Chain A
Amino acid sequence: DAGVIQSPRHEVTEMGQEVTLRCKPISGHNSLFWYRQTMMRGLELLIYFNNNVPIDDSGMPEDRFSAKMPNASFSTLKIQPSEPRDSAVYFCASSFGGFTEAFFGQGTRLTVV
């Protein structure tokens, strides 16, 4: 299995631009998580999906952030418009069921200038 696949690995964009991060979970996993990691705040859960349905998006910082999971093999996290404070590493993770461990993708390092 190829594991969780995220793209792009690195993204540098100008303030105000739209950014879309992509994730392909492990085949057969039915839970998908989007996390953001910074030195100050650690690994924060932004949103998670179960069977393609958003269960809890209370971690999404503001309306500029949105996430979708149109099918079991693909999810996107969009930031529009982006701001410098959005600069962080964004991780996608997937798991098989709520009680089991999650496996992480390689992450997307986002820099907004």
Chain B
Amino acid sequence: QKEVEQNSGPLSVPEGAIASLNCTYSDRGSQSFFWYRQYSGKSPELIMSIYSNGDKEDGRFTAQLNKASQYVSLLIRDSQPSDSATYLCAVNVGGSQGNLIFGKGTKLSVKP
């Protein structure tokens, strides 16, 4: 069974702090990794994708990938109350025919 694991949280950080979200996956053959944000009552929306080992930065968001450790993380700098949401890690398994598996998500709360 191919799995994606995340801490469910809730993770609470003060406004302006760095929020760190983590994810591990079981399929060593996975090549594509994504972070989605989901507000309550809404559908998941893509915020970051990463395909190579190392860091990828986009504004206040940085995704980090370590394939040897089967580990993906998302850092949110200068956290804002509007970042309060559930963050879902998604991993492609099954190669080019694209089976996308999600973790259960980490609930982030940013306190003003």
Contacts and interface: CB of A to CB of B under 8 A. Distances in A.
A55 B45 CA distance: 24
A99 B103 contact: no
Contacts, number: 68
Interface residues of B, number: 24
Interface stretch (A20-28, A43-51, A73-81): A43-51
A48 to B, nearest CB: 6
B100 interface: yes
Contact of B99 (A45, A104, A107): A45
A28 to B, nearest CB: 15
A48 B99 CA distance: 7
Contacts of A100: 32, 49, 98
A102 to B, nearest CB: 5
B26 to A, nearest CB: 15
Contacts of A45: 99-102
B102 A43 contact: yes
B88 A98 contact: no
Contacts of A101: 32, 34, 46, 49
Dominant secondary structure of chain B at its interface with chain A:
mixed
B43 A91 contact: yes
B104 interface: yes
A97 B43 contact: no
Interface string A35-53: 1000001110100101000
B69 interface: no
A45 B98 CA distance: 12
Given A43-B88, A43-B102, A43-B105, A104 B43 contact: yes
Given A43-B88, A98-B92, A55 B43 contact: no
Interface of A: 31, 33, 35, 41-43, 45, 48, 50, 55-56, 91, 93, 95, 97-107
5 contacts: A31-B98, A55-B94, A91-B44, A99-B96, A100-B49
